[in-house]
Structure 1
């Protein structure tokens, strides 16, 4: 039952959310084979059942379903990877990871956004408020 999606969720995502006292009740994924399959056989589906987490799936060819994730990907590429890749020379993956963590800290905790539902807040402020209610 080896699945990269299960390993990431179990070893990184859930511990991080638990550390921040943020329970997860539902997860939204695309229809990729890493996430979807027969509920009684697929590793990701079975893991979610064990953790009592509802699995919702985006509609096919409807990127609006996960527009925030799509926007994050575009922002990461435009603001970090293209910029860092053209101005920095990394000798190790650890150096690249450290630089990326600095950017993620800025993105999540220091920089406010004006887009829908953000209202000048950081992603951390928005998520914290959602779970306090």
Structure 2
């Protein structure tokens, strides 16, 4: 069984590999339906921490509602 986190991590790594193969960031972002800003954040994270960085970091930002 594939867990949700596993699918997301595979998508991110796959997107970076696709960009490498195509050589075109804009086309890759359109195919994967992500913004270029998001692509470059993922790429920077991998360059600074390796592919395992997606396992360690929680990309969600907590939403603290004020009472």
How high is the TM-score relative to the length of structure 2?
A: 0.31
How high is the TM-score relative to the length of structure 1?
A: 0.19
Q: Could you say which structure has the higher strand fraction?
A: 1
Higher relative contact order structure (alpha carbons within 8 Å, sequence separation ≥ 6): 2
Q: Which of structures 1 and 2 has the bigger CA Rg?
A: 1
Q: Could you say which structure has the higher helix fraction?
A: 2
